[in-house]
Amino acid sequence: MLLLSSLTALLGLSALAPIGSAARAKSCPVTGGTTDDSKAILAAVTACNNLAGGGSVVLDGTYTIASPLDLRNLKSVDLVITGTITFNGVVSNWAGKLFDLNFQNAQAYWLIGGQDVNIIGQGKGTININGKSFQGETKRPVGLAISGLTGGSVTGLNFKNPGFWYNWIAFSKNVVYDNININGSGANTDGWDIYNSDHITITNSVVVNGDDCISFKPNSTNIFVSQLSCTGSHGVSVGSLGQYPGIYDVVQNVYVKDVTCTNCQHGARIKVWPGAGAGATSGGLSGGGGSGLVKNVTFDGFTVKGGDQDALLVTACYGQSKVDVCTANPSTFKIQDVFFKGITGDVKGKNQAVGSIICPSATSCSNINVSGLGVTSQSGKYNNQLVCDNIDITKILAPATCHA
């Protein structure tokens, strides 16, 4: 059976990429302490790259990066960051120098990719994104950008002072994130954005931020998340999807297990833009009219504490507050085989419910399941009540109830 076999595969994801690696044959320490240590870092990485037995670049001091670093095309390299890396925070310093990630308004100070690459913080390493001055800019750099990595890990790192998303991973496969600590809020400060990547694992991590704890962007497949603590976030989100007309987005085979979301705007959610004529906007972006598929997504054991709006949410009206506009301009997205299992906790119940599952048509969603719901509202009036439309309500099991 597809769902069972997919689950079995996802639960085994952690074996696909190592957490750390065996001892490398060569060590390349980096001496920092200047106003721009980029050249020293690049020299050490070059000296340790693509060696028989691998290389280990050691950053155990204090470093400043004031120039872009292209660290792609690495092979068998560990970046052991047990010190602190701080990016130059002057916007003008980076004018025309940042890497464009070609998605929304994301850019990067540095890009890391290749084969068999591990970034190892040992719980001590710190990435000071130093991004406050970028928060008013249209285009902003992410904290750590992984692009084109096959086989590797990011472990034991601490992130602070964001200007935009913390972690971006794209065009990558078989990568594990473990024991990541993210601390700092602000607009658009997603903990992770996964894009065009396959077999990604995120475990044992803590996120304090002001936007999605994790966002599964277009073409995220075979994703496993477990033991995650989110505070102040917008929840764990599939999407947003369908932003761009003529583009087909897929998110498939996602398993999210054992998440605690404290003082979050939303809990577990799927967010899809409406049709192109809906005039939808979000975070300074406009869009809608794209198509695609969300399939085989499970949220299992998700605790919401003091939720602002929804413990669970499925919407195809993202970025448009007027439901009638979305009805007139419906999304063509398909959402199939979604499981909300053991969603518990409490929310304010602002929308006269603890969650909502609203599909644009009777044929757009199939096999949307809710079981083991245990969510109370602040007033006590809407405990375990969901707003539902265009779904098979026989899949919504007691104590959950649906109303229009």
Catalytic residues: 211, 234
Phi-psi region at 278: left, alpha or beta (left = phi > 0; alpha = psi -120 to 50): alpha
Which residues have CB under 8 Å from 369's CB, separation 6+?
338, 339, 340, 341, 395, 396, 397
Which residues have CB under 8 Å from 271's CB, separation 6+?
237, 238, 239, 240, 241, 313, 315, 318
Distance CA 87, CA 36 (A): 9
41: closest CA among 24, 23, 58? 58
- How does strand 106-108 pair with strand 99-100? antiparallel
157: closest CA among 29, 19, 252? 19
Is residue 92 reached through a cis peptide bond, with omega within 30 degrees of 0 on the bond before it?
no
Which residues have CB under 8 Å from 385's CB, separation 6+?
352, 353, 354, 377, 400, 401, 402, 403
Which residues have CB under 8 Å from 6's CB, separation 6+?
222, 253, 296
Which residues have CB under 8 Å from 377's CB, separation 6+?
346, 347, 348, 349, 353, 354, 383, 385
Helix (H) or strand (E) holding 47: helix 38-48
Measured in whole angstroms, the distance separating CA 398 from the mean position of its chain's CA atoms is: 31
Distance CA 272, CA 249 (A): 10
Residue keyed to tokens 């505070």 = 231
Neighbours of 260 (CB within 10 A): 18
